[in-house]
Amino acid sequence: MSVAMEPTPATELRKGALGLGFIVFFVISAAGPLVAIAGGLPIGIMLGNGAGTPALLVATVAILLLFAAGYTAMARHVTNAGGFYAFTARGLGGTAGGAAALIALLGYNTMTEPLSDELIRRISPIHGAYSDIRPVINYYRVTNENRLLFGSSTSLVEHIPHDLKEWNRRLMVEVFPYLSDVKIDLAWGGPMASTLNLFPQIGPLADRPNAFFVQGYSGFGVTPSQIICKILAEGILGGSDRYRLVSSIPRATIKGKDRYRNLLVTLGKVMHQSTGYWHGRR
């Protein structure tokens, strides 16, 4: 008689998870504090009040020592490749851990005036929802009022366009040249939750195993949301192989995501767009 063993969730990084682009930007970010020290410290000493700058360094070292001691102590008990997400979730709960693994990405949408049935048939006879496969995607769908809803995000530098209607119109006309004379009735934008690997995250909260979450579609919700929600439902109903697989994907913490959001999002877009271009996802 054989006994079926419950598969153990993976806690290590998948093979190839750290590519050249990730390593390059990791090294750059790690060297960033040296710029502040080399550029700011001499000025601080020259223009400071004497003991202020050395006292600041002593306080910083003390904080880092406390952090290092706590991190080392927790590392003995948290054997997970999820980085600071795993540590935050263990110490402050799953909600805080999940928030630490996301960064806000700005997306912008426009909605056209009602279109003729002929134009709607050219755009999508089935009134479907679509997106392309680029790292920073365009997505669109036809509404029940025969309007085209079209959205995207800035391709490289994270910023708010001065004129959302014209900015989105330009992208829309690249995809649908025959809509160049169509009026744009509405334009708006707002933040979207993005993850480091651009893949949605699912699972139970660490401190409430009967409460489940799904987050971080990174702008790709049009395509994977249906299957991701089905997988989440399987987890709520007792689990499945694909639920265990998806929920075990490490959730890396994005450090500095609040203070340096624009810079980090821009670097991420450059990295993912460059990788996508290299692999033909233009």
Q: Highest mean pLDDT: which of 6-10, 57-61, 119-123, 276-280?
A: 119-123
- Count the Cβ atoms, other than its own, within 10 Å of residue 192: 19
Query: Across-strand partners of 140?
Result: 130, 150
Does the CA dihedral 89-92-93-96 come out positive or negative?
negative
pLDDT digits (tens, 9 = 90+) for 143-152: 999 999 999 9
Amino acid identity, residue 76?
R
Domain locations in the chain? 21-77, 108-189
57 is written with which tokens? 């360094």
From residue 114, how far is each of 147, 171, 188 by CA, in Å? 5, 19, 18
Over the stretch 108-138, which tens digit does the pLDDT of each residue have?
A: 999 999 999 999 999 998 888 888 877 788 8
**Packing angle of the helix pair 261-278, 20-47 (nearest 10 deg):** 150
Question: Which pTM value belongs to this model?
Answer: 0.57
Q: How does residue 2 score in pLDDT terms, banded at 50, 70 and 90?
A: very low
